[in-house]
Amino acid sequence: MMKRLQLFVAAFAILACNPLLASASDPSPLQDFCVAINDTKNGEFILLHGFTILTNLTLFHAVFVNGKFCKDPKLANAEDFFYSRLNIPRNTSNPIGSTVTPINVAQISRMNTFSICLVRIDYAPYGGLNPPHMHPRATEILVVLEGTLYVDFVTSNTDICFITKVLNPGDVFVFPIGLIHFQFNIGNTKAVAFAGLNSQNPGVITIANVIFGSNPPINPDVLTKAFQLDKNIVTYLQSKFE
Amino acid sequence: MMKRLQLFVAAFAILACNPLLASASDPSPLQDFCVAINDTKNGEFILLHGFTILTNLTLFHAVFVNGKFCKDPKLANAEDFFYSRLNIPRNTSNPIGSTVTPINVAQISRMNTFSICLVRIDYAPYGGLNPPHMHPRATEILVVLEGTLYVDFVTSNTDICFITKVLNPGDVFVFPIGLIHFQFNIGNTKAVAFAGLNSQNPGVITIANVIFGSNPPINPDVLTKAFQLDKNIVTYLQSKFE
Amino acid sequence: MMKRLQLFVAAFAILACNPLLASASDPSPLQDFCVAINDTKNGEFILLHGFTILTNLTLFHAVFVNGKFCKDPKLANAEDFFYSRLNIPRNTSNPIGSTVTPINVAQISRMNTFSICLVRIDYAPYGGLNPPHMHPRATEILVVLEGTLYVDFVTSNTDICFITKVLNPGDVFVFPIGLIHFQFNIGNTKAVAFAGLNSQNPGVITIANVIFGSNPPINPDVLTKAFQLDKNIVTYLQSKFE
Amino acid sequence: MMKRLQLFVAAFAILACNPLLASASDPSPLQDFCVAINDTKNGEFILLHGFTILTNLTLFHAVFVNGKFCKDPKLANAEDFFYSRLNIPRNTSNPIGSTVTPINVAQISRMNTFSICLVRIDYAPYGGLNPPHMHPRATEILVVLEGTLYVDFVTSNTDICFITKVLNPGDVFVFPIGLIHFQFNIGNTKAVAFAGLNSQNPGVITIANVIFGSNPPINPDVLTKAFQLDKNIVTYLQSKFE
Amino acid sequence: MMKRLQLFVAAFAILACNPLLASASDPSPLQDFCVAINDTKNGEFILLHGFTILTNLTLFHAVFVNGKFCKDPKLANAEDFFYSRLNIPRNTSNPIGSTVTPINVAQISRMNTFSICLVRIDYAPYGGLNPPHMHPRATEILVVLEGTLYVDFVTSNTDICFITKVLNPGDVFVFPIGLIHFQFNIGNTKAVAFAGLNSQNPGVITIANVIFGSNPPINPDVLTKAFQLDKNIVTYLQSKFE
Amino acid sequence: MMKRLQLFVAAFAILACNPLLASASDPSPLQDFCVAINDTKNGEFILLHGFTILTNLTLFHAVFVNGKFCKDPKLANAEDFFYSRLNIPRNTSNPIGSTVTPINVAQISRMNTFSICLVRIDYAPYGGLNPPHMHPRATEILVVLEGTLYVDFVTSNTDICFITKVLNPGDVFVFPIGLIHFQFNIGNTKAVAFAGLNSQNPGVITIANVIFGSNPPINPDVLTKAFQLDKNIVTYLQSKFE
């Protein structure tokens, strides 16, 4: 019994650690909506993600699909399409000085099969940075609500082109799918932006974290050669991002 | 020569009258970006939309593709990805009390092939209405910045289900592709919302305008029967929406 | 036990009330075929739609996917791909004078994952109307077998364009995805048409029913403003379409 | 000049010899409609398919896109969505005793980008055969109007499964994308069927013609081995299908 | 109990007999990866493919989805992405003198949702033939490692075009989705090729086997007419391919 | 005239510098094939990429589409589907010790619209590295022909997972779309691999080059903060990758 419960906890943790979810080429809906099932409620034993099950054999196995299983459409209600408090400023007291608040299929279960999500980004004054990263499954359109952001994206090899712009409130910018981009607060006040992404789960790959902070770490010889860095610097960086 | 110029003007007008453009199932990009070509600039004779041409035979013919032609990628620059002034409140002094400001492939040419666009919506106090409409090619995610909106969408036949919610600043709601929805300002201050849609050209079909205001008008006998209205009311409505 | 059975009934009802199902951008099949599972047979306790389970814990939960679950391909047979009696005239004695007989994934389970369906439409003489409606997930191609139909569709805002044609037996017409259209029998005999739609579940939104007949009803203030109708007329219409 | 005209003729011929055109995974439309351009009219020098051009350098070059170029949407009218006379019986006096009349993007130019087409099939009495063939880009749904058809399709390797059925008027059957199928008139009257296919250009590969009738012919040694036929029979068959 | 086990065996057999699996228009992944579940391990009672279950009611039912169910991502490891021994020459002592070794979702479970697979093909010297066949769900790119291959593909009707080439080591050729093609070893040494196909399950339809070897057999009258063969030859061929 | 020629040269250079081109969600073909037009031949003035025009007005303008324009299908021949010499070992005398030889739409023009390409990769002995990179538009399946490669990929945030394996000849591994991966020759002989990617233009983003070698360079303050490196190291790296 304990083992079964642990498995549930593990399954839930997986969902929680996928903060951004959606794709530029997500499949289209095949019905009006398909509200995702993604939690256990009320202590009741709900079958998370289509597991099957069963019982005095103490057999247990979880299955997943590409995307999410859906809730019985008869049971859908307005709360399934709703999320609140995106107007509340977020705390940006962290080393990079920014906080991303995603509203995707994990927050609004209805977004399942709808190929879209939304994020709020808060940037600390004087250098709050949403560091170089990319979304493997979505293009992003960003609008600045407050502050002054220096934004960029870099095209793919070989003729690497760096496109950059300073944005003020009311300015809009587009970051294409799969290309590395960042936003940097160059003003002396906090900054806030909203962004739409065309996937229910865009994914996010923060370059520094993925390169230097994976677990287990990437072989330092590879990074030494790829980045032409001294091996001591590589191992120092790996210790910081762990 | 005159004829040629008139044709250009006509072509440009077509673009201007398609204010929202993008789709939930837009094709994916086949290169890093494909900045749309959509205007004539500087009095220069630029070949809008891949037309071909011309000359002392005074030959002229315009062609279009599904979507847009692209600009030479070498000539792309940050301005192609940028739009400004979405922070400026819009005038809502019109019969329905709302104004939609779309930022799509027509405003940010780079959005071509990226399956996403953004809109700002302003609502007048006491009843500003973004009237019942639907987007044939996109799902919409809306976030309220100011005011109090009563929102809804209606599912498809036969078991017609009406899902409704009151939204306050910071609240987020999703309207699925192809379903009829509206937002209604039930507060005594103006309201403002931003919305992302997963198409470069979502399209918009405002039910009342399309049903009663098409040109030429729909046969009144059809509307009399479909809406079970007195024929005089139908012709009266057609005169108002013309 | 009772509760369990009721849930089954409810689940089945949901399927039944989605008479048209398919999409212009349905995913492609990933195997030769994927016959949908969509019914309980012979009083046997069959696990409808991948539900799991069961038993002395009286546990029960239904899950759905985007589309349908499939039958074991070893058990597929010709009946799964077959539907009969589309040649039988349908009764059109109803207020609008038309009857739609859909053959989609609910009737031919094999159509699951195949992005296509077929309908027969019967129209009463002198004014049988398939009233203004649209399909959120399919384009339609219609061929007239008997009678004379006046057909139309209306393009999206703002430059609303109404395209119309009178069709006789053997005539073919196309109605694009998401645009509002109707067919009206202007002859003095019954009319019959067949139509193909490129989705396993196109969906259908009949404008008058959705606007005036939703449950709960749309706020009459919204309709009064959107349609510029007297509020009494709105509440009268809502009472008729309930 | 002569050379230029010949090239035009060739380009037109290509279109004409692709009788069926559409696909189960055609891209979605990015605007309300995109009427295909596929002809020269009025003796005028119209630039078919986006060619570019010309002049006193006598330069000429034709280009094509994936699919079709579109007509200026301002110039679209009801005729672009229309085709007539599908009710007229076709002549089936040919060796196989059947005639296929396709209504696809070549006949209704509007079908461009709409992923659907329609065919009428006439079968001679006593053995009219629509011989074993497949559509590389579409699934087909067929409804019988007159007569009695024996239909089948065969699944892919290795566990080859043959699914067959006798159809009478009003019966409907589905043939999945890419699988080989045929219809055979086993009645003593003519038969007629209509079929919808989910592509603007499904393509058709008639097995016997492609295997034995290609130009230049397939190496007879290959066919001898593949079909385990005597080489004399292979060369005899190749002479008949030439 | 016996019956239950038999069903499991049958389900497993189905998977095994689909040696090639993937599609040119497979849906995109909605998460980083979705490792397919496709086996029972360790004698443990694992719920293959989301079946549900069971028990003292002796209830049993299998369900499938379009594609495959996924494994819990937490349990994925490098072995899920790995296959070995593609360098080992295969035995080509069979009537057609060739052996295809597919590496698809059945061999590398991770390939689920990734729209790609790989095959090794070995050809016997002096006439080893990969006989005329097509893939209903994939385009193929082939590279020759050893030997000399004569390759071809045939376009669709009506203007049947046969495109052919002799390939030597290091040569690359492309065979488009749904078109019939073959490779024939015209050298006096064995030949080896690798090929990539853009589907997790391309499918394969070997023309001779499907036409003459289906079970039950196709009606000989149909084949006699379609191939213009003597009926005795047809029944002789059917006996050989059975 | 000079200016015109320069523009042609520039256009050609763009193509040349996009060595890998194709996508996991490329659109499907809408005809049997669509051979790309991508070069000028024989000194003849051919209109590359659908440009239009020219003449005594010295007018010139280039247009592009999403993907490529196609050649007249009548003019396609076997050479359009063919590429040779992939068996020749490549020189790996460069700082990272590896060379990638792509065979994509730029080399085999026929691959246009077919969503697939192939690469050969040569690795120097003792540490040849195909450095950390990702493909924004394709999943990759790799097979080792010679040598011993240590390969890995890293999943997206936040729960960053590093999946690694040592591969020997005949081993196969899959790298998913958009995830960072590398291959490192840990043997004392050269290594060779072939890989298939499911796009006509996968794109490649080499992390170190894009981060430190873009032109103009990324603001060093951003990199200092993102990578937590001393600013001197950042500017040193930028000088090396320029």
**A202-213 pLDDT tens trace:** 888 899 888 888
Judge contact between E220 and E173, C-beta under 8 A: no
Summarize the confidence of residues C100-126 as an average pLDDT.
79
Tell me the torsion sign for CA atoms F190, F191, F194, F197: negative
Q: What is the DSSP letter of B152?
A: E
Interface contact E86-F156, CB threshold 8 A: no
Kindly list the distances between the CA atom of residue A181 and the CA atoms of A123, A193, B138, C156, D46, in Å, as whole numbers in the listed order: 15, 15, 26, 36, 45
Condensed to tens digits (0 to 9), the pLDDT of residues F13-60 reads: 222 222 222 223 455 666 666 666 643 222 222 232 233 333 222 233
Summarize the confidence of residues C31-43 as an average pLDDT.
48
Choose among D4, D2, D53, D6: nearest CA to B55.
Answer: D53
Rounded to a whole number, what is the distance in Å from the CA of D57 to chain B's nearest CA? 12
Show which residues on chain B lie within 8 Å of chain F, measured between beta carbons: 27-32, 34, 37, 45-47, 50-56, 65, 67, 69-74, 112-113
Interface contact C64-A45, CB threshold 8 A: no
Mean of per-residue pLDDT scores for chain A: 71
Instruction: Specify the pairing of strand D180-185 against strand E98-103.
Output: unpaired
Nearest to B18 among D31, D54, D113 (CB): D31
Summarize the confidence of residues B93-117 as an average pLDDT.
77
Confidence of residue A150 (pLDDT cuts 50, 70, 90): very high
Chains touching E (at least 3 CB pairs under 8 A) are A, C, D, F
E interface mutation test: which of D104, D149, D156 has the most E CBs within 10 A? D156
Mean of per-residue pLDDT scores for chain E: 71
The whole-angstrom separation of Cα B84 and Cα F52 is: 33
Provide the token pair at A71: 């809730």
The CATH code belonging to domain A1-201 is 2.60.120.10
The whole-angstrom separation of Cα D66 and Cα A179 is: 26
Choose among A223, B135, F88, A49: nearest CA to C65.
Answer: A49
The whole-angstrom separation of Cα A238 and Cα D131 is: 66
Confidence of residue B94 (pLDDT cuts 50, 70, 90): very high
Interface contact A30-C52, CB threshold 8 A: no
Segment among A18-32, A83-97, C131-145 with least mean pLDDT: A18-32
3-class DSSP state of D191: strand
**Is E130 annotated for ligand binding?**
yes
CA atoms within 13 A on the CB side of A202: 28
Kindly list the distances between the CA atom of residue C121 and the CA atoms of C28, C98, C146, C185, in Å, as whole numbers in the listed order: 28, 7, 11, 11
**Is B146 annotated for ligand binding?**
no
pLDDT at A40: 29
Interface contact D233-E228, CB threshold 8 A: no
- Give one DSSP letter per residue of B24-38, joined into a string: TTPPPPSSS--PBP-
pLDDT surpasses 50 at B15: no
Closest alpha carbon within chain B to D49? B63
Judge contact between B106 and B18, C-beta under 8 A: yes
D120 strand-pairing partners: D101, D194
pLDDT at D13: 22
Condensed to tens digits (0 to 9), the pLDDT of residues B219-236 reads: 889 988 888 888 888 888
pLDDT surpasses 80 at D156: no
Confidence of residue A232 (pLDDT cuts 50, 70, 90): confident
Summarize the confidence of residues A72-90 as an average pLDDT.
77
pLDDT at B82: 76
Interface contact E197-F108, CB threshold 8 A: no
pLDDT at B121: 97
pLDDT at D241: 78
Segment among C22-36, C107-121, D66-80, D107-121 with least mean pLDDT: C22-36
Choose among F136, F130, F132: nearest CA to F195.
Answer: F130
Segment among B15-19, C210-214, F66-70, F110-114 with least mean pLDDT: B15-19
Summarize the confidence of residues B180-198 as an average pLDDT.
94
Q: What percent of chain E has pLDDT over 90?
A: 25
Summarize the confidence of residues D179-187 as an average pLDDT.
93
pLDDT at F6: 26
Mean of per-residue pLDDT scores for chain B: 71
Nearest to C170 among D78, D88, D156 (CB): D88
Residues in chain F predicted with pLDDT less than 50, given as ranges, are 1-25, 38-61
Summarize the confidence of residues A71-87 as an average pLDDT.
74
Rounded to a whole number, what is the distance in Å from the CA of E204 to chain D's nearest CA? 6
Q: Which residues of E touch F118 (CB under 8 A)?
A: 141, 143, 172, 196
pLDDT surpasses 90 at D213: no
Interface contact C50-E50, CB threshold 8 A: yes
pLDDT at A15: 22
Chains touching C (at least 3 CB pairs under 8 A) are A, B, D, E
Nearest to D31 among B25, B50, B201 (CB): B201
CA atoms within 13 A on the CB side of A10: 12
pLDDT at C35: 62
Confidence of residue E139 (pLDDT cuts 50, 70, 90): confident
Condensed to tens digits (0 to 9), the pLDDT of residues C145-166 reads: 999 999 988 877 655 677 889 9
pLDDT surpasses 50 at C177: yes
Segment among B1-5, C194-198, F99-103, F208-212 with least mean pLDDT: B1-5
Segment among A146-150, D177-181, F74-78 with least mean pLDDT: F74-78
Provide the token pair at A72: 């019985």
Q: Has the ipTM of the complex gone over 0.85? A: no
Q: Which residues of E touch A22 (CB under 8 A)?
A: 30
Does the domain at F1-203 match CATH 2.60.120.10? Answer given as yes
The whole-angstrom separation of Cα D135 and Cα D18 is: 12
Q: In chain C, what is the straight-line distance between the N-terminal and C-terminal CA atoms, in Å?
A: 34
**Is B49 annotated for ligand binding?**
no
The whole-angstrom separation of Cα A110 and Cα A107 is: 9
Choose among A146, A142, A129: nearest CA to F220.
Answer: A129
Rounded to a whole number, what is the distance in Å from the CA of B115 to chain F's nearest CA? 13
Q: What percent of chain A has pLDDT over 70?
A: 62
Chains touching D (at least 3 CB pairs under 8 A) are B, C, E, F
B interface mutation test: which of D31, D56, D65 has the most B CBs within 10 A? D31
Interface contact B156-A32, CB threshold 8 A: yes
pLDDT at E36: 60
Q: Name the more confident of A11 and C88.
A: C88
pLDDT surpasses 80 at C189: yes
Q: What percent of chain B has pLDDT over 90?
A: 24
pLDDT surpasses 80 at B159: no
- C6's CB contacts (< 8 A; 6+ apart) are none
Provide the token pair at A63: 């299955």
pLDDT surpasses 70 at A4: no
**Adjacency order of strands within the sheet including E180-185:** E162-167, E149-154, E180-185, E129-134, E205-206
Choose among F134, F135, F140, F137: nearest CA to F119.
Answer: F140
pLDDT at E46: 26
The residue extents of the domains of chain A are 1-201, 208-241
Confidence of residue B92 (pLDDT cuts 50, 70, 90): very high
Summarize the confidence of residues E73-84 as an average pLDDT.
72
pLDDT at A200: 76
pLDDT surpasses 60 at C114: yes
Choose among F133, F151, F153, F154: nearest CA to F202.
Answer: F133
Confidence of residue A61 (pLDDT cuts 50, 70, 90): very low
